[in-house]
Amino acid sequence: MLSCQSQPATSYTITGNLEGLPEGARVQLVPISHDDEKPLVDTVAVHGKFTFKGSAKEPLLVGLSINDMYGRYAFMLENGKLMITGKVTVNKQGDNTFAQFADMKVVGSPLTTEYLKKINVREQMDSIYKANAEKFKDINEALTAARGAKDKAKLDSLATTEAIKRMVKPTRSSLQRSTVPIRKL
């Protein structure tokens, strides 16, 4: 009896289309790690379009980047047919060139979908932290100064202020809100 089950893909084909990608830019896939990694593959973009072909022994977190530019878009490289779309804006700052990726979508990579769900929780927590840091900037600076001066009396005094009470309450509720999505993962 023959089985109709499909076999897992043993290679990948990634087609990309990035609005704003400079003509003739070398687009690369570089493993994301703590080491100085070399590109796995690279190709030249034509009219914002590019194609990568290869084989991945196992899924790997990679960065889509443009040669000689800072910035990347992270996604999970896995065997199969993937399509990447989005926009790239190139900015020059002094001697450095930066590629900023926006509205990025990866189709055909279930692992990228999972990765983005998990990283989204972190981004939400980062945005809560940044908002609270700005909102409570003055009291945080006063606390930092008192700690730096090892002024226990000032720290005790600050601990009873309304500013501290306003700061602690939203921070606790923000952390409680963020634990719900983490538990779901």
DSSP structure string for 86-132: EEEEEEEETTEEEEEEEEEEEES-HHHHHHHHHHHHHHHHHHHHHHH
Q: Does domain 12-108 have CATH number 2.60.40?
A: yes
Q: Write down the pLDDT at residue 174.
A: 53
Contact predicate 120/74, CB 8 Å: no
- The identity of residue 109, as a single letter, is S
Nearest one of 92, 83, 100 to 49, comparing CA atoms? 83
Report which secondary-structure segment, H or E, holds 27: strand 26-31
Can you give the pTM of this predicted structure? 0.67
The residues, ordered by sequence, that sit 6+ positions from 113 with a Cβ below 8 Å of its Cβ are 106
What are the per-10-residue average pLDDT scores of the chain (185 residues)? Answer: 67 97 96 92 96 95 96 96 97 95 95 88 78 85 90 88 79 53 51
Task: State the pLDDT at residue 176.
Answer: 56
At 165 the pLDDT is 81
Q: Strand, helix or coil at 48?
A: coil
Question: What does residue 51 show for φ and ψ, rounded to 5 degrees?
Answer: -140, 135
Non-local CB neighbours of 30 within 8 Å, separated by 6+ positions:
37, 38, 39, 40, 62, 63, 65, 72
Cα distances (angstroms) measured from residue 94 to each of 25, 98, 100, 106, 172 = 20, 10, 16, 32, 42
Token pair 């779309």: residue: 85
Whole-number pLDDT of residue 73: 96
Separation CA 66–CA 64 (nearest Å): 7
Q: Give the model's pLDDT for residue 163.
A: 83
